[in-house]
Structure 1
Amino acid sequence: MNKAKGRWPKPGPDGGVEDVTLLILEWLGEQGIDAMLRIDAERMREGLPAWTFVAGGGGPLPEGLRADGASVAECMGKALCRLREAGTDVPF
């Protein structure tokens, strides 16, 4: 694991996973894991979960994974659970 670069914020009482999502994506990249977060406007119009997180492509996560949610918080919450189940312990 790389040394912390002092950029991790201290979440406040109103903060959640959506406040550190970009930092999580950056951390995954530093670990050699390709990752992205996407919003699908068509799915949003249809009332379906519009946020999608996808990760994989190497590093400690050779097989891909996907998580969908109706909000960034829901999507990233599911993504963090799946990452941990796959053996990638994200420091959040």
Structure 2
Amino acid sequence: MTERKGRWPKIDRDGGIEDAVLLILEWLAEQGVNAMIRVDPERLAEGRPAWTFAANGGPLRHGMRADGASAAECLSRALASLRDAGVVVPY
């Protein structure tokens, strides 16, 4: 695990996990993990989960993907999958 570089999310009791997404992506990159989050307007228009998180490399043995209807749902699923793969994100 790498040393923290003084980045701490501001506590916002009304906000959700989306507030920490850039910190999460940066921390994953520091671990050697390639990661991204995206939204697909075509899937949104079709009523399908439009948000996707994808990651591979670093300590992940296999690539992973998580989809969700909202950014919060997608990130929650992604963090659970990362934890199951042994990557515990500290946010």
- 1:51 and 1:40 map into 2 onto residues whose CA distance is 7
1:67 aligns with 2:88: no
Q: Gapped runs of 5+ residues in structure 1?
A: none
Deviation readout 1:52-87 (Å, 9 max, x if unpaired)? 00001x211131010000110000000000000000
Q: Contact (CA 8 Å) 2:49, 2:69: kept in 1 or not? A: yes
Could you tell me which amino acid in structure 1 is paired with residue 34 of structure 2? D
Mapped to 2, the partners of 1:22 and 1:10 lie a distance apart of 12
Matched, 1:28 2:31: no
* C-alpha RMSD over aligned residues: 0.9
Q: In percent, how many aligned pairs have the same letter?
A: 64
How far apart, in 2, do the equivalents of 1:4 and 1:15 lie?
23
Which secondary structure does the structure 2 equivalent of 1:20 belong to? helix
Listed as ranges, the gaps of 5+ residues in structure 2 are none
Could you state the TM-score of these two structures normalised by the residue count of structure 1? Answer: 0.94
